[in-house]
Every structure is written in structure tokens, then in C-alpha cells.
């Protein structure tokens, strides 16, 4: 919203001035509208965009200093406690939570799309069995662009809706199939009687020989991981999707570009990096030497620090609680790797190096531990982040 305030820039040794309007958002800091800045004959320089908004959005709000994350005005803590992931998708898409009827209709709509075209299945076979599942995700999601010529007009709301539904529905199927292909397991079809997270776990772990039952605690943990990763303002992968889509490119190809961006260890690859780091440290006795290396900047403490959250990551708090619930449910509190993770967390939280730099555990520190406890292989961590990261297509 425009205000009547302006920011004046004086340059050229005081000879020239230009005024820029100040805009006010519903929440958060004021924004200086610099769209006319180029007229000064200069550029702005803001690597990583810490002070730059690339678009107007009413979807997600983050206050990194206070540790707030809101989807459509709802605090993430409330959503994680009282809703499930499909409801959160509905909220992100439509701006409000669904009532019971809208929820049932939305779930039916998603279920209608959760199968994969049979021709798409043959694509998996083109990959090496040992390909990283993120490589398979990038390839197969990109290939969806060749299958849905009926709905590729990004300016058409109905096309955007159906494409979003297809992505929400098919990404778990694609991710689970990427895992099963890697393992040499037969494909497991979606089961419509199950909840979203339960169905994903069913597609990952069921075999034709056994009845597969998912514990409600584990299904809830999976659902929370999806919810906590569903949106995060203009982060690197969302910005990638927007940039790719700004040319009017095929939406599925744009999402594939976002998945590629998410793959990196500074972003969605961090929870995978946490588990690799725990493996490298090996045991609690090696923690002090590892921490010395962190302070000498030989390596980073993965799962710590965040570009935006400088006091705490609100998602980490929820995930820590979920982590406790899962470790209790599975009787894993004394597992050496989880004990090591907890020792590392305690030491880092008390160490001046981390306190001074405001480095706290982020969501990926705990989500890596939760996923590992559930039995999800490390290489599947980032695909799970990718399938939770719902991307609004406008
Ligand atoms: N371990 C050790 N030191 C760190 C870490 C870390 N994880 N993160 C930052 N630092 C240090 C930096 O070396 C720097 O030290 P200096 O002031 O002595 O030079 C200081 O803290 C500030 O670091 P920046 O690079 O300015 O922090 P920035 O906000 O740019 O980085 C980032 C954020 C990329 C997330 C970083 O903290 C990091 O690499 N963390 C590990 C990877 C990770 O967990 N990523 C997941 C992010 S959550 C997500 O994507 C869902």
C-alpha cells in the first residue's frame, strides 16, 4: 500500500536528488519502491537480496529477528498443531482454511491426480539405479511438462489450479518411485483411503507381500515435515521458480528448476548434510575436535544458522518436539547417532562462537534426525523437502 512518505536520495556530489515512494505492507518493514532507480544512472547492489523484495505477495510472512512465520496470517505453530498438510496447501492456494466440505472436495481433487501416466513410468528406467533421487525428481518433474498440454497457460487461473493440484498429488508418487527404483523394488501405487502423509509412507515402504501399517505418530511427524516446508517467502528455490516462470515458461519445467535449486546443501540439502556430518563425527568424544574445526572455519556445523532467522527458527522448535515424539515412539532415544546429535546441539547452544553469531539449530537439524529415525534414507531427505515445498503458480 502507498503511503505519503518518500525517501530522498542525494547523489552526484549533492547536485542531484531523486525521491522514492515508501510502501507499507500489512505486516513487517516498510519498503522503498526503487523501480525508478535506473533513472539515476546507477545500479543497486544487493547480493542474496537481504534488502530486496522481488514481488508483492500475500502468502507468507517471516520476521527473522522475532522468529515468526505465518502462512496467510496464521502462525506456523498453530497450523502444525491444528491442521494437516492438505489443509495447509488449500490455505496457501486459496487464502483461507477450508471448511469440512471444502476439505473433502480438495482431498478428492488431489487423489484424482496422484497416479502417474504410464509413459512417465518408463522414464524412470532411463536413469541409473544409483542416481540421486533429486536427479530423478528434477528429470521426472521436468518431464511432466510434456504430458499436460491442456493446462499450461500460466495466465489462466483454472490452468494454474489444476497444475498446482497435479503437483501436490504427483510429487509424493514421483519421490517414492525414485526411492523404489533405486532399491530395485516394484512400484507401489497410491492408496486413496489413506491420508496424504500416510499414503506417502505406504508408497515408500509397503511391499506386495505384507500389509503395511503406519503408526499415527510417524504419519503425523511426516505431515509436519511437509507443513513446515510448505512455503518460506521468496527463498532461493521459490525465487528460482518465479524467475524461470517470468518468461511464461511451462510451469512443470519451472518447478523442476526450483527443485534443482533446492538440492544444494545451503538450502534443501542441509538435512542430508546434517546426517553426513553426524556420520563423519562418529561419536561424542570427537565433538570437541569437530567444533574446533568449525571455529577455524574448516567446516560448518550443518543444520545451524539461517539466512533470515537470527534468534530462532520457529519450525525448529516444532520439529524438536516432533523429534522427541518419534524417538519415544520408536524407542530410539539411546541410539548412538541420536545421542551424538543431542550432544552436539547442547554444546553448540552454549558455545560463545554460536551465541555471538546468532547461530541456532534450524528446522533441518531436527528434520534430518526425524527422517532418519523413521527409516528414510539420507538421499531421500531433499526429495521430501521438495514434495512438501508447495509452490504457488502465480
Ligand atoms: N557453522 C559455522 N559457522 C557458521 C554457520 C554454520 N552453520 N553458519 C554461519 N556461520 C558463520 C559464518 O562463517 C560467519 O562467521 P564470521 O562472521 O566469523 O565470518 C557468520 O556465522 C555469519 O554467517 P553468514 O554467512 O553471514 O550467514 P548467512 O546468513 O549468510 O548464512 C546459511 C546462512 C547459508 C544458512 C548458513 O548459516 C549455513 O551455511 N548453515 C549451514 C547449512 C544449513 O543448515 N542450511 C539450511 C538452511 S534452512 C533451509 O534452507 C530450510
The domains of the chain are located at 2-53, 77-264, 270-379
Which residue lies with its CA nearest to atom 35 of ligand 1?
306
CATH class of 77-264: mainly alpha
Q: Cβ(194)–Cβ(222) under 8 Å?
A: no
Give the Å distance between the CA of 70 and the centre of ligand 1: 23
Instruction: Return the SS3 of 31.
Output: strand
Instruction: Return the SS3 of 114.
Output: coil
Judge if the beta carbon of residue 357 lies within 6 A of ligand 1. Answer: yes
Judge if the beta carbon of residue 315 lies within 6 A of ligand 1. Answer: no
Q: Could you tell me how many residues make up the chain?
A: 394
Give the Å distance between the CA of 301 and the centre of ligand 1: 8
The CATH number assigned to the domain with range 270-379 reads 1.10.230.10
270-379: same fold as 77-264?
no
Closest CA to 365 of 237, 272, 289, 249: 272
Residue 46 corresponds to which cell in the numbers above? 544487493
Task: List Cβ neighbours of 53 (8 Å cut-off, separation of 6 or more).
Answer: 31, 234
Which residue lies with its CA nearest to atom 39 of ligand 1?
266
Query: Residue 174, class by beta-carbon neighbours within 10 Å (0-12 exposed, 13-18 middle, 19+ buried)?
Result: buried
Give the Å distance between the CA of 343 and the centre of ligand 1: 20
Instruction: Return the SS3 of 4.
Output: strand
Residue appearing with cell numbers 476439505: 103
End-to-end CA distance of the chain: 20
Closest CA to 392 of 263, 257, 245: 245
2-53 maps to CATH 2.40.100.10:
no
Distance of CA 223 to the CA centre of its chain: 13
Residue 342 corresponds to which cell in the numbers above? 543431542
Q: Which helix (H) or strand (E) holds 17?
A: strand 16-23
Judge if the beta carbon of residue 82 lies within 6 A of ligand 1. Answer: no
**Alpha carbons 264 and 241: distance in angstroms, whole number:** 15
Q: Is 323 left (phi over 0), alpha (psi -120 to 50) or beta?
A: alpha
Q: What is the pLDDT along the chain (394 residues), one digit of tens a residue?
A: 888 899 999 999 999 999 999 999 888 899 999 999 999 999 999 998 989 999 999 999 999 989 999 999 999 999 999 999 999 999 999 999 999 999 999 999 999 999 999 999 899 999 999 999 999 999 999 999 999 988 888 889 999 999 999 999 999 999 999 999 999 999 999 998 899 999 999 999 998 888 788 999 999 999 999 999 999 998 999 999 999 999 989 999 999 999 999 998 888 888 888 889 999 999 989 999 999 999 999 999 999 998 889 888 999 999 999 999 999 999 988 888 888 988 888 888 899 999 999 899 999 899 988 999 999 999 999 999 898 775 444 3
Amino acid at each position: 500500500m502507498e503511503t505519503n512518505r518518500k525517501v530522498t536520495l542525494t547523489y552526484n556530489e549533492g547536485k542531484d536528488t531523486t525521491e522514492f515512494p515508501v510502501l507499507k505492507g500489512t505486516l513487517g518493514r516498510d519498503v522503498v519502491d526503487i523501480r525508478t532507480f535506473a533513472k539515476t544512472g546507477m545500479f543497486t547492489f544487493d547480493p542474496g537480496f537481504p534488502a530486496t523484495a522481488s514481488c508483492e505477495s500475500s502468502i507468507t510472512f517471516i520476521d527473522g529477528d522475532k522468529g515468526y512465520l505465518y502462512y496467510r496470517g496464521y502462525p506456523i505453530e498453530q497450523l502444525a498443531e491444528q491442521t494437516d498438510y492438505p489443509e495447509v496447501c488449500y490455505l496457501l492456494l486459496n487464502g483461507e482454511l477450508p471448511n469440512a466440505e471444502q476439505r473433502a472436495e480438495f482431498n478428492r481433487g488431489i487423489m484424482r491426480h496422484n497416479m502417474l501416466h504410464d509413459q512417465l513410468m518408463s522414464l524412470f528406467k532411463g536413469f541409473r539405479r544409483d542416481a540421486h533421487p533429486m536427479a530423478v525428481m528434477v528429470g521426472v518433474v521436468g518431464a511432466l511438462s510434456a504430458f499436460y498440454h491442456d493446462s499450461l497457460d500460466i495466465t489462466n487461473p483454472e490452468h494454474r489450479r489444476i497444475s498446482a493440484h497435479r503437483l501436490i498429488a504427483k510429487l509424493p508418487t514421483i519421490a517414492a518411485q525414485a526411492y523404489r527404483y533405486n532399491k530395485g523394488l516394484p512400484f507401489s501405487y497410491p492408496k486413496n483411503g489413506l491420508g496424504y502423509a500416510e499414503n506417502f509412507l505406504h508408497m515408500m515402504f509397503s511391499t506386495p507381500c505384507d500389509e503395511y501399517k503406519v503408526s499415527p505418530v510417524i504419519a503425523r511427524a511426516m505431515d509436519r515435515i511437509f507443513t513446515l516446508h510448505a512455503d518460506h517467502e521468496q527463498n532461493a528455490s521459490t525465487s528460482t521458480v518465479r524467475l524461470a516462470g517470468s518468461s511464461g515458461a511451462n510451469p512443470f519445467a519451472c518447478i523442476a528448476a526450483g527443485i534443482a535449486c533446492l538440492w544444494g546443501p545451503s538450502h534443501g540439502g542441509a538435512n542430508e548434510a546434517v546426517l553426513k556430518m553426524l556420520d563423519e563425527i562418529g561419536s561424542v568424544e570427537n565433538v570437541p575436535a569437530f567444533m574446533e574445526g568449525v571455529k577455524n572455519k574448516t567446516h560448518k556445523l550443518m543444520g545451524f544458522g539461517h539466512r533470515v532467522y537470527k534468534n530462532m527458527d520457529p519450525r525448529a522448535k516444532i520439529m524438536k518436539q516432533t523429534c522427541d515424539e518419534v524417538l519415544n515412539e520408536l524407542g530410539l532415544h539411546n541410539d548412538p547417532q541420536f545421542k551424538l546429535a543431542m550432544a552436539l546441539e547442547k554444546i553448540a547452544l552454549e558455545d560463545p562462537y554460536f551465541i555471538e553469531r546468532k547461530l541456532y539449530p534450524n528446522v533441518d537439524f531436527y528434520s534430518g534426525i526425524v527422517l532418519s529415525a523413521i527409516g528414510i534414507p539420507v538421499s531421500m531427505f531433499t526429495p521430501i523437502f521438495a514434495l512438501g515445498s508447495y509452490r504457488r503458480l502465480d
